[in-house]
Amino acid sequence: WASADPGIQFHTTINDWHTCPQSGPIRASNPCSEYMFLDDTACNLASLNLTAFRRPDKSFDTDAFEHACRLWTIVLEIAVLMAQFPSRRIAELSYRYRTLGLGFANIGGLLMTSGISYDSNAARAICGAISAIMTGVSYATSAEMANELGPFPGYQPNANDMLRVVRNHRRAAYGQADGYEKLATNPVPLDHAACPDKALIEAATGAWDRAIELGQSHGFRNAQATVVAPTGTIGLVMDCDTTGIEPDFALVKFKKLAG
């Protein structure tokens, strides 16, 4: 309880959503657990401050958020080429799978400023819809880049598995309770009825429609596209009220920086 360690991870569920199982199983994560992929791979992170997309009338600027997700997916793809890696093996596999780490921060702050309780069906639906938009737009953008540059080198042996995972994401975005492919445990789907902003629902389903359509035609440039990191340090730089996906645990907080 004092340190929140060790964390618990569910090996079966993790590998059910693995986009590249033909290349090996996922056996572990990074220490913060947002990045789960093959051994000796790495991804660069980028997080969007969600309150930056809140309009004065409390609505969420979906168009601006989609544009930001698309832009930062391209930036992170460029970062794969620009990055320097700690070992030859990590460099080789990172180039082979080209995993990205686009995420968001301050969902707790967004909900508080909107007057919505974090532990509510509406909040869960908003968070689910925003997550669906981010990941769907990022995968659709990845497929667009694959059309221009080719899919990631490890795509072909994993194409059927990756498309299956993307189809399952789309089913969840559409709120389906069943009909998933090769899952030991079905996910909690997006609750359309509970979401107070129907534009979020339309954007979420539309993003996954595009991701499927483009992915089937061109493949994907990146084996993974999104994560939700804790953002404990960059959240301060971005002036977030809350970090990552968690609620606010105190109105006044102090952080000890390492180094």
Residue 246 lies in a domain: no
At 258 the pLDDT is: 64
Residue 230 lies in a domain: yes
Residue 140 lies in a domain: yes
Would you give the DSSP letter of residue 177?
S
Number of domains observed in the structure of the chain: 1
CATH of the domain at 104: 3.20.70.20
Residue 74 lies in a domain: yes
Amino acid at 2: A
Residue 141 lies in a domain: yes
Question: In the chain, where do the E strands start and end?
Answer: 45-49, 101-105
Which residue is it, tokens 């645990």?
249
What are the 10-residue block averages of pLDDT along the chain, 259 residues in total? 78 98 96 94 96 94 99 98 93 97 97 96 98 99 99 99 99 98 98 98 99 99 97 90 90 75
Q: What's the CA gap between 128 and 117, in Å, rounded?
A: 15
Q: What's the CA gap between 240 and 69, in Å, rounded?
A: 18
**pTM greater than the 0.85 cutoff:** yes
Residue 63 lies in a domain: yes
Q: Could you list the active site residues?
A: 30, 32, 34
**Close Cβ partners of 37 (under 8 Å, ≥ 6 residues apart):** 20, 26, 43, 97, 99, 223, 224
Structural domain span for residue 48: 30-237
Residue 50 lies in a domain: yes
Residue 19 lies in a domain: no
CA–CA distances in Å: residue 52 to residues 48, 67, 105, 178, 245: 8, 13, 10, 35, 15
At 251 the pLDDT is: 85
**Close Cβ partners of 36 (under 8 Å, ≥ 6 residues apart):** 9, 14, 26, 28, 29
Backbone dihedral angles phi then psi of residue 198, each to the nearest 5 degrees: -70, -20
Are residues 225 and 155 in contact, defined by beta-carbon separation less than 8 angstroms? no
